[in-house]
Structure 1
Amino acid sequence: MQADRWVVANARGRYAWLLLLSSAFVALGAAIVLRKPGLEAYLIGGALIVFFGAGVVLFAFQLIDRRPRLILDDEGLYDRTLGVGTIPWRDIAGAHLLSMRGHAFVCLQLRNPEHWLGKLRPRQRRLVALNQRLGFAALNVNLSGVAADPLAVLERVLKYSAMYEPGRG
């Protein structure tokens, strides 16, 4: 039995909304700086411009980024944001869904987590222990900002990992 190739992209509508919202706050910051002379206005307006200006850059990039965010196919699960490459289905023992502050995550139960943790950047490895204290797995697929239903992603991960389970014909 073969897995269907499922490619999931960024949720462009969500990033368009966030870009618009961030741009409005940058404009508000500029208006504060230009209309209210004084140190307090420069600090408040400047903070709005810097913080939401960074958001404008980030959300604009996410909006135009056409690369797949997730790919689930015969090879396994690929999450571009994890940075570990494709995780073969035979290496995934199970998964469960967790949500934190409205953001869904598919928590992967890996057969050999050390192998995959070794592929993470040092900063990411330091965050793994914190994630696990919060009830997450070592590797988690972050579904915020993607155009996919979290339950559908979990269902496919469980289905595909069961199909490729070691010893199964």
Structure 2
Amino acid sequence: MDDHIEFTASPIKFLGLILIGAGMAAAGFWLMTSEEDLFARSMGGLCMLFGVLCFFGLAKQMTMGGSTVVFSREGLEDKRWGVGLIPWNEIESVRVLTIQSTRMLELRLRNPQMYLEQLPWHLKLSSGLNKTFGFSNFNLVFTGMNPGLDTALAYVENHHPDILLD
């Protein structure tokens, strides 16, 4: 296995995810404008907001170009986080985490605060929510990327089996 793997956005997968976001926004708009019930209209507004945020977030990520996540001999970097390279010796453990059928790599860092301070505000918010629910602050999601999570897991198994949890 290579010492360097780059995970990039798959245009076809991302197009599908963007269409789902647009569909959620449209459904939310319909619910918000066609229902009389305040609760239904509120839920429609939230659905529309979430769909729009997904749409623009995914569109931005797709147009970033180049690799999104890089695993190398030195460490790993998720360019969506904007914290730079996280050396392997800073990673205490890695495990596969599944939340509502979405598989991801959960990273437990030795000094998470050092990296949390560098996150953009919206990622700090989601990171805090992860911690509230008992998960790590840092989770690598490979949805819409090539290669996928299985390749990332194989890399960790081959190069850093000491940090891999079952």
* Bin for the TM-score computed over the shorter chain: 0.5 to 0.7
The correspondence of residues 99-110 of structure 1 with structure 2, limited to 5 A, is 99-110=98-109
Aligned residues: percent identity?
23
**Which whole-Å CA distance do the structure 1 matches of 2:67 and 2:155 have between them?**
17
> Structure 1 pair 65/123, CA: closer, same or farther in 2 (3 Å)?
closer
Q: Secondary structure at the match of 2:70?
A: strand
Partner amino acid, structure 2, of 1:129: G
- CA shift for structure 1 position 40: 4.1
> Structure 1 pair 56/111, CA: closer, same or farther in 2 (3 Å)?
closer
CA contact under 8 A between 1:7 and 1:71: conserved in structure 2?
A: yes
Q: Secondary structure at the match of 2:146?
A: coil
- CA shift for structure 1 position 107: 0.7
CA contact under 8 A between 1:107 and 1:140: conserved in structure 2?
A: yes
The correspondence of residues 50-89 of structure 1 with structure 2, limited to 5 A, is 57-89=56-88
CA RMSD of aligned residues (A): 3.7
Question: 1:140 — aligned with what?
Answer: 139
Which of 69-78 and 154-163 deviates more? 154-163
- CA shift for structure 1 position 25: 7.9
Q: How does the TM-score come out when normalised to structure 2?
A: 0.67
Question: 2:13 — aligned with what?
Answer: 14
Bigger Rg, which one? 1
Question: 1:95 — aligned with what?
Answer: 94
- CA shift for structure 1 position 10: 0.8
Alignment gaps of 5+ in structure 2? 36-40
Q: Secondary structure at the match of 1:97?
A: strand
Number of corresponding residues: 153
- CA shift for structure 1 position 108: 0.8
